[in-house]
Structure formats: structure tokens, C-alpha cells
Chains A and B, each alone.
Chain A
Amino acid sequence: MSYKSKIRMSVGWIYPITILCLYLTAIAEWVIRGHLQQMGQEVSSFPQIAIFLAAFFFAGMGIFQWFRYRNWIYPVLGILIGTAVMVWPFARYSESELFLVTYLVAVILFFLLVILKWSTIYGHERFELNSRRLFRLAGERIFQTSDGYTERLYPGGNISYTHDELAGFVRFLHGNYVVRPFYYENCVHLAFSMNKSLMVIHEPAEVSYITLDYQGRITVRISEKDYRDYTERLSFDQLCSSMAEVFIRFIEYHQKGLETRITSELKSAGNIFL
């Protein structure tokens, strides 16, 4: 049984693939330029086209990730690194100091932001990784593809737990960047998402979430964006039911003191790139 192809490729995969392609483009361009120089043409040996492509790629990806994650750090970092890449050849070969200053400012700001916003970047990546694992776990045993998306909450059943057990369970999942909890008077919403960044949301309704109330009722809400990230239109009610079962299983593990099973089960669901 293979379930890895059920979820679309992560955005994280685009970076290594494209950077590798850009390296190959740069080498090809360098070889062509060297060949043209040997033929007597006055061309620079510097792979300018590859450099420009790389700059646009980083800036473009930053903007793309803004639309996907709604986290401002990505477009800012993307534009900064794109600017740095774009002006690097000019900073190196031009006599004007403006390019060098621009380059240095972009690089320094980039690293400064990465350091200052590290918790946001790290948190987002871990949340996305584990959300993908959750969705993969939920979808692994579903083979019916009849779509049927609806915004409604799915009543996922009941399980008995005490307030302390619930609080401990929620703390464990939050501490391991599996879900982001939102506490309400009579329930806890556990938010997770493959799309919008959990670091920037203000309420769980913006993403997918599980609701655990103090009477032991479990309800599931899967956002349309997350549902559309499956490569197949899995039967929606089965997906919601399966997601509820995953959490019920996790609660039972927690009640039995088998928290490591939760993490090992999540890890068994593959990595962020698949």
C-alpha cells in the first residue's frame, strides 16, 4: 500500500530542485560563454542569465509563499535574497560602491531577519511538516474518490478523558509542533494546516482543526485548501472520519502514557517533501 502520492509535493521541494537546475544552467552558460570567447567574441565569462534567473526565482518564491502561507517573513526574505543575488555580480565587478552597499545591506538584513524571526520560521516549518504527516495518516486508508467537500464540521465521535488528560495531550502536541491550540470556554480547537501558516492565524477557522470539548465530543473541520492538496479527491466524509480516528488514537496513546507512539506514528507517515 502506498499513500505517499496522495498529497501534493511540498513547496520545500521546489528550492533544491530549482537551485540544482540553476547551477546546471550556470555551468552550461559558463561553458557557452567560454566557447564564444574562444571564437573571438567579446562576451563576459560570467553566467549573468543564470544569476538573474536565480534572483527572480528567490523573489518569486517569496511572493508565492506569501500567497500560500500568508506569512510576511517569506516575501521579505525572498526579495532580500533575490536582491543580493541580483546585485552580487555588479558589486563584485562594478566600480560603483552603490552595488556593494546594496548587496551588503540585503545580506545583513536577510541574516538579521532570519535570526530575529527564527522561531516563526522554525515553528512554521515544523507545523507544516507535522500537518502534512497528519493528513497523510488520515488519508492512507481511504481509496474512495468521490469528493464531496463541505464546510460543515464533522461529528467525529466521543472519547472520555479528564480535563487534565486533555490539557496534557494538547500541551504534548503543541510542544511537538503538531497542532496549535486555541482554548475556549467549553472546548479546545487544535489547528493544523498544510497551507496557511499556523504562526500567523488568529482563529482556527482560518485553517483545518479538531475540536475536543469537555464532554468528550470530537469534531473535525478540514479546510478546502488543505483538502485540495490531496492529489485525489478522497471521499470527504471518510477523510474527516479518519482524521477523527487519528486523534482518538493519539488521545488513547497519551492516556496510556505511550506518547512516543504518537511521534513515531507521525514520523512513519513520511517526510515534508513527500
Chain B
Amino acid sequence: MSPLLDVQNLTVDYLVPGRPVRAVDNVSFSIDAGEIVGLAGESGCGKSTAAHAILGILKPPARITGGRILFQGRDLVGMDPAELRAFRWRHVSLVFQSAMNALNPVLSVGDQFVDMMRAHEPLSKREARERAGELLQLVGIERSRLKSFPHELSGGMRQRVVIAMALALRPELIIMDEPTTALDVVVQREILQEIERLQQELGFAVLFITHDLSLLVEFSRRIGIMYAARLVEMAPAAALFARPEHPYTLGLMRSFPDVTGERVVISGIPGSPPDLGSPPRGCRFHPRCTRVMERCGVVEPRLLATAVDRCVACHLYGESA
């Protein structure tokens, strides 16, 4: 069965004067229908840029300069803007990190729903409002809140509203870009449980983007790790947690102290992410890698399969290993 979303060799450049900066470098991954896939990485790794590229909402000077994005077989790269606008939100939608980025502070919640739905479908105001009420109930908010303004809602409720908006047209894929980072830990768990429930009920696929790897391990089926614009590892969540292959993944996991068990010193990863304007030669992680070899500074490792559903871009595995 062909995947729902198939990203092939996606490359996004920031076309600034001088040399363009490559924010996403030859990234390929796929998502099956109804699957939850996580994309983890720190700031500057390109995960948000990739998400925006999939939705076609890159802001200049960012441009897709290579690759294909196949959604149900159709290539999104090169679609004309009108087609893309029709496609966006109906098939793929986005939940932003901060709800206040997505919600208009001067319109009531109900008005925003109505606006959005009528932009995509021929509905009367009353029908749209009716649907909006249903959507709010779906995410666990009382219908009466349609009259409220965003600032009158708590952070968690706002995020639910944003999720409801993303669900409005029943898309097949919802991309969530750090949807719970700005929320308190208790609310975060509630929202995640809510998303899980909705996902099971409605069957949409999720691309969950976050820097919080521990969250992904609990929540997603497969996880991709990005570093400095590249995809460096991809594996099922349980396998990744049990046996991370890429040294960066290992380092990332060692950056989360445990809440149970003995207290031991953990060290994170020394150094900082590279300057994308002039990245290191060879493997981009090698200056910070504890298992660096001579080859790493010379040749870029390719993404190779190490098991039927795992791949990693590291010289420790693959041809030379």
C-alpha cells in the first residue's frame, strides 16, 4: 500500500544574498495513513522548515529547491497557488506551537471557525456555526465558548481550539509543530491524550514535530531524528528507545534526566549545533561526536537501512562497518 505522504529528497534553501543557506538537505521519509510519526531535533535542524514546506507556507527568502512531496500520489511541489490553497487544510492541516500565533485576538472563536470553513466550503453562516459547535465538543470544550475571545480562554483550551480548527475539514494528515511546548506539563499530557483519542476516532495521520524526544517515544509509532538540516536516523519508537544507533540520538536521550531510579550524572552533548551557512565537512555531527572516526570528517554518511524498518546515516553502520 502506498504511503499517504511521501517526501523524497526534499531540499529547502534560504536564498539570501551571497551563498544560499540550506535549511533542509535531501530529506526523505514517508507517513502511512493513520500513522503517528514523530520528527525530533533541536533548533535549527530544519524540522519546522520541512513542515512548512509540506504545507507550502514557506516565507521568503525560503524556497523549495529540490525534491518531491507526494501526497496520495500528487506532487505538491510545483502545484499552482490556487490548487495548493484548495488542497491545504482539506487534506493536510497544521497546528502551530503557540495558539496565539494561529488565533486572531480580535475575533471570537466562533467567528474564526466560520471564516475558515466558509473559505473552503459553500456553507451558510448557521451551518458553519453548527459545525463549529460540533468541533468544539469533539475536543472537549463547551459550545457556549464559541462566543469567547482567545484571551478569555486558558492556554490549554486555546490549543484545543487550534486543534479543532485543524480538524475542521477532516484532513488525512495533521502536522503538529511543537503543539504542547508552551503548555504546562499536566495540560500537555491532557492535550496529548486528547489527540490520541481523536486520532483513534477519526483515523488521521499525524506528523508530530518536537524537541522533546521523551514525549515522542511515548506517543508516536515511528520517530525521525533531524540534525543540521539532515535526517540522521529513523526507527520505530520502541526500537529507537531501546537501542539508539546514531550517536546524536544517544546523546539526545541522555539529555533527559529520569524521574525514577538512581541519580547519575548525565552530560548531554558538548558543543552547539553548527552554523548552517558553513556546516562542517563530512558528517555534520562529527565535531560533537563521542565516537568520531577519521572518515567522519571527510565523507558524508548516507542514510542506510540497518534493519527492515530502521535506517541511520552514520559511518558506524553501513558499508564500511
Bind each other: no
- Chain A positions within 8 Å of B, measured between CB atoms, are none
- Chain B positions within 8 Å of A, measured between CB atoms, are none
